[in-house]
Amino acid sequence: MTQIPELFGSMVFNDSVMKSRLPKDIYKALKKTMQLGTHLELDVANVVANAMKDWATEKGATHFTHWFQPMTGFTAEKHDGFISPAGDGTVIMEFSGKELVRGEPDASSFPSGGLRCTFEARGYTVWDTTSYAFIKDGSLYIPTAFCSYGGEALDKKTPLLRSMEAINKQALRILKLFGSKAKSVSTTVGPEQEYFLIDKDVYLKRPDLVYTGRTLFGASPPKGQELDDHYFGAIKPRVAAFMKEFEEEMWKLGVTAKTKHNEVAPAQHEFAPIFSTTNIATDHNQLAMEMLKTVAGRHGLACLLHEKPFAGVNGNGKHNNWAISTDLGQNLLEPGETPYENAQFLLFLVAVIKAVDDYQDLMRVSVANAGNDHRLGANEAPPAIVSMFLGDELTGILDAIESGAEYHGPDKQPMEIGVTVLPHFPKDTTDRNRTSPFAFTGNKFEFRMLGSTFSISGANIVLNTAVAEILGQFADTLESSKNFNADLAALVKKTICAHKRIIFNGNNYADEWVEEANKRGLSNLRTTVEALPAFIAKKSIDVFTKHGVFTETEIKSRYEILVEGYCKTIHIEALTMVDIVNEEIIPACVSYQNELVKLLSRKKSAGDFDCTMEERLLTKISKLCTCLVKKLDTLDAALLKVGEEHEAIAHAKLYRDVVFAAMNELRLSADQLETCVSKKHWPLPSYGEILYSVN
530 makes contact, choosing from ligand ADP, Mg ion, none, with CB < 5 to 8 Å by partner type, with none
Write out the binding residues for Mg ion, residues 319-338 only, by CB under 5 A: 319
231: left (phi over 0), alpha (psi -120 to 50) or beta: beta
Write out the binding residues for Mg ion, residues 192-221 only, by CB under 5 A: 192
- Residue 157 or 444: which CB sits closer to ligand ADP? 444
- Residue 273 or 371: which CB sits closer to ligand ADP? 273
Distance CA 433, CA 507 (A): 8
Write out the binding residues for ligand ADP, residues 244-283 only, by CB under 6 A: 272-275
331 binds ligand ADP (CB under 6 A): yes
Sign of CA pseudo-dihedral 507, 508, 511, 513: positive
Write out the binding residues for ligand ADP, residues 376-415 only, by CB under 6 A: none
CA angle, 410 then 411 then 414, to 5°: 120
331 makes contact, choosing from ligand ADP, Mg ion, none, with CB < 5 to 8 Å by partner type, with ligand ADP
Distance in Å, CB of 430 to ligand ADP, minimum: 10
597 binds ligand ADP (CB under 6 A): no
User: Binding segment for Mg ion among 242-250, 312-320, 391-399, 499-507 (CB under 5 A)?
Assistant: 312-320
- Residue 55 or 275: which CB sits closer to Mg ion? 275
188 binds ligand ADP (CB under 6 A): yes
Q: 687 and 221 in contact (C-beta within 8 Å)?
A: yes
Centroid of chain to Cα 82: 34
Distance CA 394, CA 426 (A): 10
User: Binding segment for Mg ion among 79-87, 189-197, 411-419, 641-649 (CB under 5 A)?
Assistant: 189-197
192 binds ligand ADP (CB under 6 A): yes
148 makes contact, choosing from Mg ion, ligand ADP, none, with CB < 5 to 8 Å by partner type, with none
Distance in Å, CB of 335 to Mg ion, minimum: 20
189 makes contact, choosing from Mg ion, ligand ADP, none, with CB < 5 to 8 Å by partner type, with ligand ADP
CA angle, 79 then 84 then 89, to 5°: 130
Binds ligand ADP by CB under 6 A, chosen from 73, 123, 143, 190 = 190
Distance CA 386, CA 522 (A): 8
Distance in Å, CB of 259 to Mg ion, minimum: 10
76 makes contact, choosing from Mg ion, ligand ADP, none, with CB < 5 to 8 Å by partner type, with none
321 binds ligand ADP (CB under 6 A): yes
The one-letter amino acid code at 101 reads V
- Residue 41 or 428: which CB sits closer to ligand ADP? 428
Site string for ligand ADP, 414-443 (x = CB under 6 A): -----------------x---------x-x
Distance in Å, CB of 130 to ligand ADP, minimum: 17
Rounded to a whole number, what is the distance in angstroms from the first to the last CA of the chain? Answer: 25
Binds ligand ADP by CB under 6 A, chosen from 323, 332, 349, 635 = 323
Distance in Å, CB of 156 to ligand ADP, minimum: 19
464 binds ligand ADP (CB under 6 A): no
Q: 161 and 69 in contact (C-beta within 8 Å)?
A: no
Distance in Å, CB of 10 to ligand ADP, minimum: 22
Q: 263 and 171 in contact (C-beta within 8 Å)?
A: no
CA distances from 141 to 293, 450, 667 (A): 19, 27, 43
DSSP string across 445-511? EEEEEEETTS-THHHHHHHHHHHHHHHHHHHHHHHT-SSHHHHHHHHHHHHHHHHGGGB--S-TTSH
Sign of CA pseudo-dihedral 176, 177, 180, 185: negative
Distance CA 659, CA 649 (A): 14
Binds ligand ADP by CB under 6 A, chosen from 206, 306, 374, 444 = 444
Distance CA 113, CA 111 (A): 6
- Residue 14 or 443: which CB sits closer to ligand ADP? 443
Q: Which residue is nearest to ligand ADP (CB)?
A: 190
Distance in Å, CB of 535 to ligand ADP, minimum: 25
The dihedrals phi and psi of 442, each to the nearest 5 degrees, come to 95, -50
Closest CA to 458 of 525, 380, 325, 555: 555
The helix or strand, by DSSP H or E, that contains position 258, with its residue range, turns out to be: strand 257-262
Distance CA 304, CA 198 (A): 8
Binds ligand ADP by CB under 6 A, chosen from 11, 30, 76, 189 = 189
- Residue 147 or 305: which CB sits closer to ligand ADP? 305
Distance in Å, CB of 382 to Mg ion, minimum: 12
Distance CA 70, CA 74 (A): 7
User: Binding segment for ligand ADP among 153-161, 320-328, 377-385, 388-396 (CB under 6 A)?
Assistant: 320-328
- Residue 192 or 307: which CB sits closer to ligand ADP? 192
CA distances from 398 to 237, 360, 369, 475, 504 (A): 49, 20, 35, 21, 13
- Residue 323 or 356: which CB sits closer to ligand ADP? 323
Distance in Å, CB of 399 to ligand ADP, minimum: 26
The residues, ordered by sequence, that sit 6+ positions from 58 with a Cβ below 8 Å of its Cβ are none
Q: Is 426 exposed, middle or buried (0-12, 13-18, 19+ CB in 10 A)?
A: exposed
323 makes contact, choosing from Mg ion, ligand ADP, none, with CB < 5 to 8 Å by partner type, with ligand ADP
- Residue 220 or 277: which CB sits closer to ligand ADP? 277
How many positions of this chain bind ligand ADP (CB under 6 A)? 17
Q: Which residues contribute to the site for Mg ion (CB under 5 A)?
A: 192, 319
Q: Which residues contribute to the site for ligand ADP (CB under 6 A)?
A: 188-190, 192, 272-275, 321-323, 331, 431, 441, 443-444, 446
